[in-house]
Homo-oligomer: A and B are copies of this chain.
Amino acid sequence: MADNQHPGQSFGESEFLRWLHDSMPISKSALVPNGDDAALLSTTDRGVLVATDMFLDGTHFLALQTTPELIGRKAVAANLSDIAAMGGWPQSVFISLGIPGNTTREWIERLMIGAAATAREFQCGIDGGDTNSWSGPLVVNVCVTGSPHWRGAVTRSGAQAGDCVLITGKTLGHSLETGRHLRFRPRLQEVRWLMDHFKIHSMMDLSDGLATDLPRLSDASGVGITIDAKQVLGIAPATDSELQAALCDGEDFELVFTCSKADAQTIVKRFPFECGIRQIGTVTAGRGVKIIPLTGEPASSLAVQGYEH
């Protein structure tokens, strides 16, 4: 990886690149792994999924207030979550670094160890990337490739009126305060089980909060969605401030998806994973996202309720 030593690089790059070459896991699908101008990955006739996300010091993490391992973990895990949201399984991870001039090699190696451990958990390799020193704060860009399920990719645009809306996990909100945004586990095994046994109509991961993300799914599918505040809260106390956190905090990295009512009932009954799963609403004809408030009054628009991000 990191074949391009661009002008301006100063920290012990050549040792770092050698260390990377010796330490990083290589994916099984890498026909030509890192160290060349590009990696060559084997694919199936179903094509390849590609997702990318950039993580910036001060915005997505605070380099001085967390460990480098957790920064590496989060950057990889958030990208793996995007592959999960398409119903797929990840293969190869590519990591580009913009490293502040005063960073030690040991600190960056710890970041890469966190990234590699997360990749390994899901049988992925770190198959390439790019390393640069600069005068700005830490930047970590991750690009991940994945393999679609044999049923195909699940998009945001397949929700159908009559579907149930389900969500993984026991609760939403407070991800930043609790550090969950650094430690969450991408729902890959859960998705594989769902895809193997059921027909998932539409899916996305929750990065910005239900109040922002659900309208994207409803718009992409051209349907309406009605959610129930009590079901959204899961195990949290049923207060308006908890509801606000659940809808708006973001960085939950849980999956929200829709499927038929019959499938939803079986999924909720048989879901074998610790993270839990629950129904939070239904897909309707029409447009827009509505919410049944905690008081149980009739559903009204999420935007009118003031929950828009």
Q: Which residues of B contact A141 (CB under 8 A)?
A: 52, 54, 96, 139, 141, 143
Q: Determine if B153 and A35 form an interchain contact, defined as CB atoms under 8 angstroms apart.
A: no
Known: A3-B216, A94-B143, A208-B5. A39 touches B49 (CB 8 A): yes
Q: Is A45 an interface residue (CB 8 A)?
A: yes
Known: A38-B83, A38-B88, A134-B59. A31 touches B47 (CB 8 A): yes
For A216, the closest partner residue in chain B by CB is B3
Q: Is A196 an interface residue (CB 8 A)?
A: no
CB 8 Å contact bits of A201-243 with B (1 = contact, 0 = none): 0011101100010001000100000000000000000000000
Q: Determine if B155 and A32 form an interchain contact, defined as CB atoms under 8 angstroms apart.
A: yes
Q: Determine if B50 and A38 form an interchain contact, defined as CB atoms under 8 angstroms apart.
A: yes
Q: Which residues of B contact A137 (CB under 8 A)?
A: 134-136
Q: Is A86 an interface residue (CB 8 A)?
A: yes
Alpha-carbon distance between A6 and B41 when the two chains are bound, in angstroms:
30
Q: Determine if B41 and A50 form an interchain contact, defined as CB atoms under 8 angstroms apart.
A: yes
Q: How many residues of A contact B (CB 8 A)?
A: 76
Q: Which residues of B contact A31 (CB under 8 A)?
A: 47, 153
Q: Is A250 an interface residue (CB 8 A)?
A: yes
Q: Determine if B212 and A5 form an interchain contact, defined as CB atoms under 8 angstroms apart.
A: yes
Q: Determine if B45 and A39 form an interchain contact, defined as CB atoms under 8 angstroms apart.
A: no
Q: Determine if A155 and B36 form an interchain contact, defined as CB atoms under 8 angstroms apart.
A: yes
The stretch among A102-110, A124-132, A261-269 that forms the contact with chain B is A124-132
CB distance from A286 to the nearest CB of B (A): 22
CB 8 Å contact bits of A40-52 with B (1 = contact, 0 = none): 1111010111111
Alpha-carbon distance between A57 and B59 when the two chains are bound, in angstroms:
18
Alpha-carbon distance between A139 and B155 when the two chains are bound, in angstroms:
29
Q: Which residues of B contact A38 (CB under 8 A)?
A: 49-51, 82-83, 85-86, 88, 144, 146, 153
Known: A38-B85, A59-B134, A136-B136. A50 touches B127 (CB 8 A): yes
CB 8 Å contact bits of A287-309 with B (1 = contact, 0 = none): 00000000000000000000001
Q: Assuming A3-B216, A48-B145, A50-B145, what are 14 further A-B pairs, CB within 8 angstroms? A: A4-B53, A6-B207, A38-B49, A38-B86, A39-B51, A43-B43, A43-B47, A52-B94, A52-B143, A53-B96, A56-B139, A94-B143, A96-B141, A143-B143
| A interface list, Cβ under 8 A from B | 3-8, 29, 31-32, 35-43, 45, 47-54, 56-60, 81-83, 85-86, 88, 92, 94, 96-98, 127-130, 132-137, 139, 141, 143-146, 148, 153, 155-157, 176, 203-205, 207-208, 212, 216, 220, 250-251, 309
The 9 nearest A-B residue pairs measured at CB: A38-B51, A8-B59, A37-B85, A141-B141, A54-B96, A143-B143, A43-B43, A37-B82, A136-B136
